[in-house]
Structure 1
């Protein structure tokens, strides 16, 4: 596992890029997986990464596992590649923008949230 200073920085970065609450993310994962024919069980909705982000949001920093730390790095890196967090949120205007927003929301980042 990362040293204490590195873990502190990662914890801050993760909570900066994951701007959805655990309730918002859980609701999004359920909506995202809802289909005409069937829906998964609520605790199984969404991607495995989305479910892992949700679990991390419900933990204290001292309870993190090595797997949690790996997912946190992955989420921070992926969101950082897809979004310039310094920019103002841009309106979603094209299908590509909508897909990008939905991908980010699966990771816990809503680009339209201030």
Structure 2
């Protein structure tokens, strides 16, 4: 991975915006992926791909980031900046699927 000023800024912004810890995000993603029949047989089936990427990045050190991780962080920052602090159910659920709960200060 190419380390640099932009990556440092992106890392800081990503971690400022992702205000749910990995366990909270994992629980949210699993609950969101389940339906009235229960969880699917494949644990990753139905879980938001970007949310899985966020979980992956949260488990890494900055020096271990890949280009894919950087893309995930950019997507999250762009999404949160686009949706802002909307708290309607649909927007909040979408924001929480990437680890940002707009109701947290």
Q: TM-score scaled to structure 2, two decimals? A: 0.89
Q: Show the counterpart of 2:90.
A: 99
Q: Show the counterpart of 2:32.
A: 32
Contact 2:3 2:63 in 1 (8 A): no
Unaligned ranges ≥5, structure 1: 85-89
Deviation at residue 46 of structure 1 after TM alignment: 1.8
Deviation at residue 38 of structure 1 after TM alignment: 3.6
Q: Show the counterpart of 1:51.
A: 52
Distance 2:82 2:40 in 1: 30
Distance 2:103 2:37 in 1: 30
Distance 2:41 2:64 in 1: 26
Unaligned ranges ≥5, structure 2: none
Q: Root-mean-square deviation (CA), in Å?
A: 1.8
Runs of 4+ displaced beyond 6 Å = none
Distance 2:80 2:59 in 1: 20
5 Å-filtered alignment, 1:50-89, equals 50-84=51-85
Q: Show the counterpart of 1:112.
A: 103
Structure 1 residues 61-101: Cα deviation after superposition (integer angstroms, max 9, x where no partner): 111100000110011011001115xxxxx7x4xxxx00100
